[in-house]
Structure 1
């Protein structure tokens, strides 16, 4: 009996050690990927996020960032072939993230950003269809998590852009940006590498409001 207990304790300790090592590898990998992204090494960052995701099949976060890094790089891109390749990859990654974590407001916002990148590139071609999709995505995200600062802010900024396009006043949406900043101050997540972006951009938009 004593030997059995000792064996079970050893097995438990081994499992815990393996889990700790896996967690450490995940953390180091994610930090390296963010470092590559910061250095504007978009392809390398995207590939590393994807490799991490392959090793973490139940984790939507690496796929989320693989999508986001390709999306952010597409804003301002003039080469249609390069932009198309980046946004197609972003779409593939966000679709996998959605399959892992359905009805996730963070992923819905990321999906809307992909559409926005297409609209920014060619509004005449993509504006009509993708604008309507974004309205639906932001509305659904808001219904799922009305106190998520990225959801509140992203929807407000989208609404402001639509108002400008149609020659309407953007002031009514400033209160939503202000609310988003209040939410940024208190929003927390215990999930490692959970999205935390948006506060600085919201501060810039609110400053423009005033």
Structure 2
């Protein structure tokens, strides 16, 4: 997950030639993340968010960086702080852009992070919260490839745990690949990650 999202971050930062200070800052932050400097990337994105109070994207990336890094076992001791930082950023992004399906996808991912910290305690509650967020995101935009893929990926985890058939989820992953092919981000920094992950997941299905 981390490597593939970071590849997208590197691509964005490499394509941008210096323009506005916002674009420079966003490109630099995503570049730092691509270099494995997640803490520095998050800190810079937080500064951008403080300056760009009407733009939801910097807070979105603060949340995405910390949520993605929280899945890394190497960051086990940092996870509680990452969860708090990511949730604060999600809350701030949502205030700026309510009913935003991309933010809801990251919220679902963050709930997944919380769930896996203690599945026995958190399983029932956070499974419901994860599915609620994906459901809301898909109600807003049923063609959001990240929502379609991430929901299917989450459901595969549950299906494998319970020993149930994953074919329906694999079909959704295949559907998401088609959606990725037709997805056109609104801006150079709009979310566009996920295709490589979906392709790898589909290979695993087969």
Give the shorter-chain TM-score range.
0.7 to 0.9
Which structure 2 residue ranges, 5 or more long, are not aligned? 1-18
CA distance in 2 between counterparts of 1:155 and 1:79 reads 24
Instruction: Tell me which of 113, 120, 126 is aligned to 2:122.
Output: 126
Following superposition, the deviation at residue 189 of structure 1 comes to 2.0
Following superposition, the deviation at residue 155 of structure 1 comes to 1.0
Q: Could you tell me whether the CA contact under 8 Å between 2:148 and 2:172 is conserved in 1?
A: yes
CA distance in 2 between counterparts of 1:204 and 1:77 reads 20
TM-score by length of 2: 0.87
Q: Could you tell me whether the CA contact under 8 Å between 2:185 and 2:192 is conserved in 1?
A: no
Instruction: Tell me which of 78, 81, 85 is aligned to 2:81.
Output: 85
Following superposition, the deviation at residue 120 of structure 1 comes to 2.4
Which structure 1 residue ranges, 5 or more long, are not aligned? 1-22
Following superposition, the deviation at residue 116 of structure 1 comes to 0.9
> Structure 1 residues 187 and 61, CA, compared in 2 at 3 Å: closer, same or farther?
same
Partner of 2:11: none
Q: Could you tell me whether the CA contact under 8 Å between 1:70 and 1:89 is conserved in 2?
A: yes
Measured on the aligned residues, the alpha-carbon RMSD in Å equals: 1.6
Q: Could you tell me whether the CA contact under 8 Å between 1:76 and 1:121 is conserved in 2?
A: no
Deviates more, 1:73-82 or 1:113-122: 73-82
Question: Is 1:101–2:101 an aligned residue pair?
Answer: no
**1:1-210 equivalent positions in 2, closer than 5 A:** 24-77=20-73, 81-210=77-206
Q: Could you tell me whether the CA contact under 8 Å between 1:71 and 1:114 is conserved in 2?
A: yes
CA distance in 2 between counterparts of 1:207 and 1:99 reads 38
Of structures 1 and 2, the larger Rg is shown by 1
> Structure 1 residues 27 and 79, CA, compared in 2 at 3 Å: closer, same or farther?
closer
- Deviation digits for residues 124-177 of structure 1 (CA, Å, limit 9, x no counterpart): 222221111011111111111001111111111111112112210111111111
Following superposition, the deviation at residue 80 of structure 1 comes to 5.4
Partner of 1:3: none
Deviates more, 1:45-54 or 1:79-88: 79-88
CA distance in 1 between counterparts of 2:79 and 2:89 reads 15
Number of residue pairs aligned between Structure 1 and Structure 2: 189
